[in-house]
Amino acid sequence: MRKAPSLPGKAMALALALFPLIFFMVVESSLSSFDKSSHSTFDRINQLPGQPQVSYQQFSGYVTVDEKKQRALFYYFVEAEIDPASKPLVLWLNGGPGCSSLGVGAFSENGPFRPSGKMLVRNEHSWNREANMLYLETPIGVGFSYSSDSSSYVTVNDKITGTDNLVFLHNWFAKFPQYRNRSLFISGESYAGHYVPQLAEIMLQFNKKQKLFNLKGIALGNPVLEFATDFNSRAEFFWSHGLISDSTYKSFTSTCNYSRYVSEYNRGTVSPTCSRVVSLVNRETSRFVDKYDVTLDVCIPSVLSQSKVLSPKQVTETVDVCVEDETVSYLNRRDVQNALHARLVGVNGWLVCSNILDYEMLDLEVPTISIVGKLVKAGVPVLVYSGDQDSVIPLIGSRRLVHGLAEELGLKTTVPYRVWFAGMQVGGWTQVYGDILSFATIRGASHEVPFSQPARSLVLFKAFLEGRPLPEAF
Amino acid sequence: MRKAPSLPGKAMALALALFPLIFFMVVESSLSSFDKSSHSTFDRINQLPGQPQVSYQQFSGYVTVDEKKQRALFYYFVEAEIDPASKPLVLWLNGGPGCSSLGVGAFSENGPFRPSGKMLVRNEHSWNREANMLYLETPIGVGFSYSSDSSSYVTVNDKITGTDNLVFLHNWFAKFPQYRNRSLFISGESYAGHYVPQLAEIMLQFNKKQKLFNLKGIALGNPVLEFATDFNSRAEFFWSHGLISDSTYKSFTSTCNYSRYVSEYNRGTVSPTCSRVVSLVNRETSRFVDKYDVTLDVCIPSVLSQSKVLSPKQVTETVDVCVEDETVSYLNRRDVQNALHARLVGVNGWLVCSNILDYEMLDLEVPTISIVGKLVKAGVPVLVYSGDQDSVIPLIGSRRLVHGLAEELGLKTTVPYRVWFAGMQVGGWTQVYGDILSFATIRGASHEVPFSQPARSLVLFKAFLEGRPLPEAF
């Protein structure tokens, strides 16, 4: 998730048909209509405007997931810096629902470059040091992904997203056949706590019919896994980090808690009780505090919605808190869009989070921690990690959910709760259960971990890919 | 407090005689023995080695508080940068008990310079921009303060410290008569949550006899005010910030809590139960995490006790986490000691925290929040502030204590819990009761607030001196 709830409440989809049946029908039809003339060479990026010279290849473009409605998903693919043939393939998904993996994941978090004015500056801790990184703008309606039929944006839900993502990957392999049998990891953050386990689950189902996906593990950053636990941790996080008073904390845990408020909000029935409490919470926490990182500065022009040009650049932190504004400017340049082979269809510009997508917000309340449990039982390694300065999906809830799942599955602790190291400092804390289910915090990190702690995130990522516990010493 | 408990348990002092009687006897005798030939000019500092040019005056030296036992307290006094005659006098006290206001307060926190190699670098946010700053090494046995009779270091307690501090100030006014009627504020942190209210209280008592102290307010940073509330907040802070696991949190709040452990420790009777729990907590939190700021890096040479010279300087943060090591080097130089008019008596070197002082640690358990209440009732403005990254005396406890005191005194909220601003960013949160009792957090700040957030601390300090609420906007 990236934005506070902002969509109107919607009614639950009336009939949820039997999943596997529908699923295979959809996938088969999408696959058969796939235009086999596409090749990765057409998608090759010669050079992004302002980009420093690099030795590895980049690709971007569209993969059609539904020929009839011309539904096409946009991707950005960065091969590994060194010896890509020996490195795994990692799919990265941002959350929202409705936020862009290109603008957030690739250009603000773990991609090779970050926009700065007219230039791209190198990210020394890009995840393509360890893997071939595939960023997908999903679902349809996000960023450069589009449908020619705008009804496709209405009541998009987790099931549609999962199927589209699977079809995307299937068809993407046709463009990049050399990656077909490569070790595959899926990673993502926030609402991707829904997307990633759901996609992994249907991959395993698909594999029963045709072994296509060589899935080696999933990594979930500050993910929504169980609505109430995740959302109600926010009150405790606010309180323990000083953002709300003792009395407001009391109201926020007894009179109305956050999951109740979000539930009411998504159904269009906010009660006066919850409205009062949330107003109080919002007033105390203030819009000048980044809820995704309570210690980081905020981008003042962005908060005030003033012109970026008039305001001085903030350089108080080593992290560029205005990177989102920079990304919006960069990705809306015509020359950049041309270089990316990107089109704007039915929208005026590229946005960080979609304003045309009408997502089924009630899916938020469906727990995915149970799917995570199924994946673990199927032998898929899972890492849940938490940037510890994030109040939106706080570490407290994620840690509790992972610990609870381990107990439920009867997994013993194989690495006790302990610190881990990155660059001669504590990178955070970790615990591993049954050598397959891991939890980790990243110290001093935001909701978007690789954005605020790039070096620590790369250490985390490398250990995850190698299936090793995080470094115990330095 | 600066160090974890490290003194052996000691028996409670047997007889606590009637306080005011003893107090005035001691003070009278000290005052009468005061050597009136001392003058501030002898204490004037020409130039500290490596110091940049400044326009204001500095003084340091000794004030005898007990002629018979040659007990003398060392002070460092920095006049305000601009127009000192118009600025108030502020006494700064560090805690411990047993840590130095010179090395910690002046040279690592809010003084005009910080040591860096052989040089002193200017602190742009020195509190002498707003006040005439007086740093006192107290009690006897701390830093350069000494007694010629080493028995003076045994069973020093809050009462002795308070009396000595008052006698010091009385006699210091004889050296600096121009400050005698100046507005006086007392500030300090940590265990100074004992020293400061206690000193303020006896000042008010003294004033009944002879109006000497023009006390205008006290400010307490991450202070110990009520043992159990302050110390038991640590478990919640650790847990909510990711330093301990759910199961350890449970043990640390049910099997043995921290106040019980410290109590047992100070009585030399640590139970196997508490020993087990605290071992687990220590293992999980790790010595590589700075408990005084859980997000800041640690000074690795210092943690590993390696030679500073061999290890690379850490420049990952804008804050020099090795400033303590730098200060120890600097203050142990003979030329620096000469420039400061400092002597080493009965010790081999200057230390950040005394190893000869044998403080009555059971005083820790005596609440001083009630004294704070008395001061407020007597019309003395009080500010309690909290660096929000400190797990040692966490904001959670301080906030609860201040709120509780306000309720007890029947003080209404005059500034609701809200953010305050410094440099176009949220500096923290604040609440004011009855226009006299204030609470504030400092965002991203350590136990030693002006060390880790110098700019924010200066905004806080200025508002405190002016008796205004913290900035509501920018």
Residue boundaries of the structural domains of chain A: 19-226+362-466
Residues of B with Cβ-Cβ distance to A388 under 8 angstroms: 241-242
Q: Of A110-119, A283-292, B22-31, B290-299, which range is least confident?
A: B22-31
Cβ-Cβ pairs closer than 8 A, A with B, add up to: 110
Strand partners, A415: A432
Considering only residues A23 and A189, tell me which one the structure prediction assigns the higher pLDDT: A189
**How large is the average pLDDT for residues A413-431?**
93
The single residue of B263, B447, B452, B457 carrying the catalytic annotation is B447
> B298–A236: do the CB atoms touch at under 8 Å?
no
Per-residue model confidence (pLDDT) at position A79: 98
**How large is the average pLDDT for residues B448-468?**
97
Tell me which of A281, A282, A426, A439 to substitute to probe the interface with B (most B C-beta atoms closer than 10 Å): A426
pLDDT at B17 over 80: no
Q: Of A85-94, A195-204, B10-19, B263-272, which range is least confident?
A: B10-19
Catalytic residues of A: 190, 390, 447
Interface membership of B312 toward A (CB under 8 Å): no
- Give me the residue from A240, A418, A429 closest to B236, CB to CB: A240
Per-residue model confidence (pLDDT) at position A155: 85
Per-residue model confidence (pLDDT) at position A316: 44
- Smallest CA–CA distance, residue A64 to chain B, in Å, is 43
Contact residues, A window 260-299, toward B, CB-based 8 Å cutoff = 283-286, 288-289, 294-295, 297-298
Residues of A with Cβ-Cβ distance to B442 under 8 angstroms: none
**pLDDT tens-digit map of A382-420:** 999 999 999 999 999 999 999 999 999 999 999 999 999
- Give me the residue from B248, B389, B399 closest to A246, CB to CB: B399
- The Cα–Cα gap between B277 and B253 comes to 10
**How large is the average pLDDT for residues A350-363?**
93
CB B357, CB B97: distance < 8 Å:
yes
Per-residue model confidence (pLDDT) at position A314: 41
- Smallest CA–CA distance, residue B303 to chain A, in Å, is 11
**pLDDT tens-digit map of A254-286:** 999 999 999 999 999 999 999 999 999 999 998
**How large is the average pLDDT for residues B133-147?**
96
**How large is the average pLDDT for residues A347-371?**
94
Residues of A with Cβ-Cβ distance to B286 under 8 angstroms: 418-419, 426
> A386–B242: do the CB atoms touch at under 8 Å?
yes
Per-residue model confidence (pLDDT) at position B29: 58
- Closest residue on chain A to B390 (Cα): A241
> A426–B289: do the CB atoms touch at under 8 Å?
yes
CB B362, CB B10: distance < 8 Å:
yes
Per-residue model confidence (pLDDT) at position A38: 47
Per-residue model confidence (pLDDT) at position A23: 55
Per-residue model confidence (pLDDT) at position B300: 76
Closest CA to A462 of A143, A160, A88: A88
- In 3-state terms, what secondary structure has residue A144? coil
**How large is the average pLDDT for residues B41-58?**
95
- Smallest CA–CA distance, residue B122 to chain A, in Å, is 18
Q: What is the mean pLDDT of chain B?
A: 89
List the Cα angle B173/B175/B180 in 5-degree steps.
25
Distances (CA, A) of A121 to A336, A337, B76: 15, 18, 48
**How large is the average pLDDT for residues B330-347?**
95
Q: Of A49-53, A255-259, A264-268, B405-409, which range is least confident?
A: A264-268
Per-residue model confidence (pLDDT) at position A150: 86
Residues of B with Cβ-Cβ distance to A396 under 8 angstroms: 239-240
Closest CA to A257 of A228, A221, A286, A285: A228
pLDDT at B400 over 60: yes
- Give me the residue from B246, B395, B418 closest to A403, CB to CB: B246
Tell me which of A429, A433, A446, A472 to substitute to probe the interface with B (most B C-beta atoms closer than 10 Å): A429
Considering only residues A7 and A427, tell me which one the structure prediction assigns the higher pLDDT: A427
pLDDT confidence of B417, banded at 50, 70, 90? very high
3-state secondary structure chain B: CCCCCCCCCCCCCCCCCCHHHHHHHHHHHHHHCCCCCCCHHHHECCCCCCCCCCCCCEEEEEEEEECCCCEEEEEEEECCCCCHHHCCEEEEECCCCCECHHHHHHHHHHCCEEEECCEEEECCCCHHHCCEEEEEECCCCCCCCEECCHHHHEEECHHHHHHHHHHHHHHHHHHCHHHCCCCEEEEEECCHHHHHHHHHHHHHHHHHHCCCCCEEEEEEECCCCCHHHHHHHHHHHHHHCCCCCHHHHHHHHHCCCHHHHHHHHHCCCCCHHHHHHHHHHHHHHCCCCCCCCCCCCCCHHHHHCCCCCCCCCCCCCCCCCCHHHHHHHHHCCHHHHHHHCCCCCCCCCCCCECCCCEECHHHHHCCCHHHHHHHHHCCCCEEEEEECCCCCCCHHHHHHHHHHHHHHHCCCEEEEEEEEEECCEEEEEEEEECCCEEEEEECCCCCCHHHHCHHHHHHHHHHHHHCCCCCCCC
> A421–B288: do the CB atoms touch at under 8 Å?
yes
> B240–A242: do the CB atoms touch at under 8 Å?
no
**pLDDT tens-digit map of B196-251:** 999 999 999 999 999 999 999 999 999 999 999 999 999 999 999 999 999 999 99
- Is residue A277 within a helix (H) or strand (E), and if so which, with residue range? helix A272-285
Contact residues, B window 317-336, toward A, CB-based 8 Å cutoff = 318
- Smallest CA–CA distance, residue B419 to chain A, in Å, is 7
Per-residue model confidence (pLDDT) at position A35: 45
Per-residue model confidence (pLDDT) at position B28: 58
At the top level of CATH, the class of B19-228+362-466 is alpha beta
- In 3-state terms, what secondary structure has residue A154? strand
**pLDDT tens-digit map of A162-187:** 999 999 999 999 999 999 999 999 99
- The Cα–Cα gap between B193 and B198 comes to 9
- Give me the residue from B240, B285, B298 closest to A237, CB to CB: B240
Residues of A with Cβ-Cβ distance to B403 under 8 angstroms: 245-247
**How large is the average pLDDT for residues B121-139?**
97
- The Cα–Cα gap between B159 and B168 comes to 14
Per-residue model confidence (pLDDT) at position B24: 56
- Closest residue on chain B to A443 (Cα): B295
Per-residue model confidence (pLDDT) at position A297: 83
Q: What is the mean pLDDT of chain A?
A: 89
β-strand A58-66 against A71-78: which pairing, if any? antiparallel
- Smallest CA–CA distance, residue A284 to chain B, in Å, is 5
Interface membership of B62 toward A (CB under 8 Å): no
- The Cα–Cα gap between B286 and B275 comes to 16
- The Cα–Cα gap between B259 and A114 comes to 48
Residues of B with Cβ-Cβ distance to A386 under 8 angstroms: 242
pLDDT at B15 over 90: no
Closest CA to B27 of B150, B176, B157, B209: B209
The token duo for A304 is: 């005030």
Interface membership of B398 toward A (CB under 8 Å): no
> B396–A294: do the CB atoms touch at under 8 Å?
no
Signed CA dihedral, B354, B358, B361, B367: sign only? negative
Residues of B with Cβ-Cβ distance to A246 under 8 angstroms: 399-400, 403
Residues of A with Cβ-Cβ distance to B237 under 8 angstroms: 240
Per-residue model confidence (pLDDT) at position A27: 60
At the top level of CATH, the class of A19-226+362-466 is alpha beta
Considering only residues A316 and A264, tell me which one the structure prediction assigns the higher pLDDT: A264
Per-residue model confidence (pLDDT) at position A296: 86
- Is residue A421 within a helix (H) or strand (E), and if so which, with residue range? strand A413-422
> A240–B245: do the CB atoms touch at under 8 Å?
no
Per-residue model confidence (pLDDT) at position A315: 41
- In 3-state terms, what secondary structure has residue A352? coil
Does B435 qualify as catalytic in the annotation?
A: no
Most confident of A119-133, A144-158, B418-432: A119-133
- Closest residue on chain A to B422 (Cα): A297
Interface membership of A346 toward B (CB under 8 Å): no
Spatial neighbors of A326 by CB under 8 A, at least 6 apart, are A114, A115, A116, A117, A320
Question: What is the residue whose two structure tokens read 């620590």?
Answer: A456
pLDDT at A356 over 90: yes
Per-residue model confidence (pLDDT) at position B11: 31
Interface membership of B237 toward A (CB under 8 Å): yes
